[in-house]
């Protein structure tokens, strides 16, 4: 079963200096055969964070790594953005940001209840098609 990836895990997996690098790399490796999907909005968030923290050189390295990897990049459209806004309204008290809501809307669209992320707040979301969202590792 495929898994979606969040910025927190993507950044940790691609930077050996990150605290959770080992766990992130292992989670990516163990999920590779089932398919790792990244919403384009998560990739954009990741690129922005990396650019601000580490500079454009590192941003470009991650860009190239994402393009040369087994990650499948998923597009966004107006319907997905509307679904993300509906999730934001329903979970307003949790405080999900835009990228989180887009990730969760992608979970719904793709019917995937597994997310690679260090953001445990995502577990508050209840998919319409599953009992719970599994946030790994």
Calpha distance 91→1 (Å, rounded): 26
β-bridge mates for residue 72, sequence order:
37
pLDDT tens by residue, 5-30: 999 999 898 888 889 999 999 998 88
pLDDT for res 114: 97
Identify the residue whose tokens are 């605290």: 19
Q: With beta carbons less than 8 A apart as the criterion, state whether 22 and 131 touch.
A: no
Asked if pLDDT for residue 98 goes beyond 90, the answer is yes
pTM for the full model? 0.92
In order of their start, the domains of the chain are 3-136 (3.40.50.1010)
- Burial readout 56-91 (b: 16 or more C-beta within 10 A, e: otherwise): eebbeebbeebeebebeebebeeebeebbeebbeeb
pLDDT for res 91: 98
pLDDT for res 17: 85
Q: What percent of the chain has pLDDT over 70?
A: 100
Average pLDDT over the chain, rounded to an integer: 94
pLDDT for res 132: 97
Helix pair 78-90, 98-110: axis angle to 10 deg? 110
pLDDT tens by residue, 42-58: 999 999 999 998 899 98
């Amino acid at each position: 079963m495929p898994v979606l990836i969040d910025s927190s895990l993507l950044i940790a997996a691609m930077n050996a200096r990150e605290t959770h690098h080992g766990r992130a790399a292992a989670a990516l490796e163990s999920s590779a055969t089932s398919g790792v999907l990244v919403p384009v909005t998560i990739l954009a968030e990741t690129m922005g964070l990396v650019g601000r923290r580490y500079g454009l050189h590192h941003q470009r390295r991650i860009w190239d790594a994402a393009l040369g990897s087994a990650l499948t990049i998923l597009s966004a459209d107006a319907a997905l953005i509307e679904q993300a806004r509906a999730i934001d309204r329903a979970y307003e008290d949790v405080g999900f940001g835009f990228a989180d809501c887009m990730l969760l809307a992608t979970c719904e669209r793709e019917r995937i209840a597994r997310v690679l992320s260090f953001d445990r707040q995502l577990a508050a979301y209840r998919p319409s098609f599953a009992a719970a969202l599994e946030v790994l590792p």
